[in-house]
Amino acid sequence: ALENETELGGATEFEIITTMMFLYFGEIHPVDFVIIEAGLGIKHDSTNVFKPILSILTSIGLDHTDILGSTYLDIAKDKSAIIKPYTPVIYAVKNDEALKYVRDYALEQNAKPIELDREVTIISQDDEFTY
């Protein structure tokens, strides 16, 4: 039961909501496709338990450094856990050191790396997007 804690503590609100989401979309109201946003960090995130058809790593900033690490590279290492073997990944990383890590890690995973603004560009004009 959720009130039982382990040495790591009990389930967080985010983990409970994530579990409910997986149950809802997997059993109660099955869907063919769903977009799932990871929580804080990715390496130990409760959303990081399935094989996606595509991963997207939007950016890497110096947010939550007390949890994710104090440098762009530290944060890139955590967030790169979203990259799965043989799965395309789109990323929009601007910091050179973090960008190199993400690109190299994607190649190590045999993932197809797609760099935003290098291999694909998205332009918004009025209420439309051009790719």
- Domain residue extents for the chain: 1-34, 35-130
Does residue 97 surpass a pLDDT of 90?
A: yes
- Provide the 10 A C-beta neighbour count for residue 38: 19
Q: Write down the residue that tokens 């439309």 correspond to.
A: 128
pTM (global) more than 0.75: yes
State the Cα–Cα distance between residues 97 and 115, nearest whole angstrom.
15
- Residue count of the chain, please give it: 131
- Nearest-CA neighbor of 69 among 30, 40, 46? 40
Q: What is the pLDDT of residues 29-85, one digit of tens each?
A: 999 988 998 887 777 788 888 889 999 998 888 988 888 899 999 999 999 999 999
